[in-house]
Amino acid sequence: MKKGIHPKNYRLVVFKDMSNGLTFITKSTAQSKDKIKMEDGKEYPLIKLEISNTSHPFYTGKMKLVDTAGRVDKYMSRYKSHMEKKKK
């Protein structure tokens, strides 16, 4: 491995899956403005995740549509006329 290319400022960070509320602590260099107080009484930086291995369909075996910021609705409204022409 090349020397001097990896960051040295790792710290404990909490990652929270927003779809099911699961939290886990790991080391990371990711920056965050949010903080969370954990069961051990300490406060950690918080990184919010939309999906993790506990909510991803590949790992859970359940199909679930994750629609953040209405992307599906935007797509449908944008291409509505095109889809109607295709049906005819």
Of 69, 37, 66, nearest to 50 by C-alpha is: 66
Report pLDDT for 59: 64
Of 73, 31, 25, 69, nearest to 50 by C-alpha is: 69
Chain position carrying tokens 């679930």 = 64
CB 14 within 8 A of CB 38: yes
Going residue by residue through the chain, which has 88 residues, state the pLDDT in tens, using 9 for 90 and above.
Answer: 788 888 888 999 999 988 888 899 999 999 999 999 999 999 999 999 888 877 766 667 776 555 566 677 777 777 777 777 766 6
d(CA 49, CA 20): 10
Report pLDDT for 66: 58
For the chain, the domains span 11-87
Structure tokens at 9: 């400022």
Report pLDDT for 63: 66
